[in-house]
């Protein structure tokens, strides 16, 4: 799987919970939410477009930052 990094305008726990909800609903993803830096790193087979559309369902400002290189 490719790791993708997204920017999501999250300001609180509620925001990150919303992100968790939409991603779990989508399924087939494992992800890390970095609330202080407003980043979501997603490990998935889904296309970037699908992931972006899913994240946008939270109503937050969202953008694709790029592939995260495996550390």
Question: What would the pLDDT profile of 1-49 be if each residue is shown by its tens digit?
Answer: 679 999 999 999 999 999 999 999 999 999 999 999 999 999 999 999 9
Contact 71, 43 (CB under 8 A): no
Global pTM? Answer: 0.91
Contact 45, 1 (CB under 8 A): yes
Structural domains in the chain? Answer: 3-68 (3.30.70.100)
Question: Is residue 59 over pLDDT 60?
Answer: yes
């Amino acid at each position: 799987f490719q790791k993708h990094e997204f920017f999501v305008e999250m300001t609180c726990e509620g925001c990150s919970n919303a992100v968790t909800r939409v991603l779990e609903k989508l399924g087939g993803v494992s992800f890390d939410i970095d609330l202080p830096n407003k980043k979501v790193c997603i490990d998935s087979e889904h296309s970037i477009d699908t992931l972006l559309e899913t994240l946008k369902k939270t109503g937050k400002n969202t953008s694709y930052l790029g592939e995260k290189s495996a550390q």
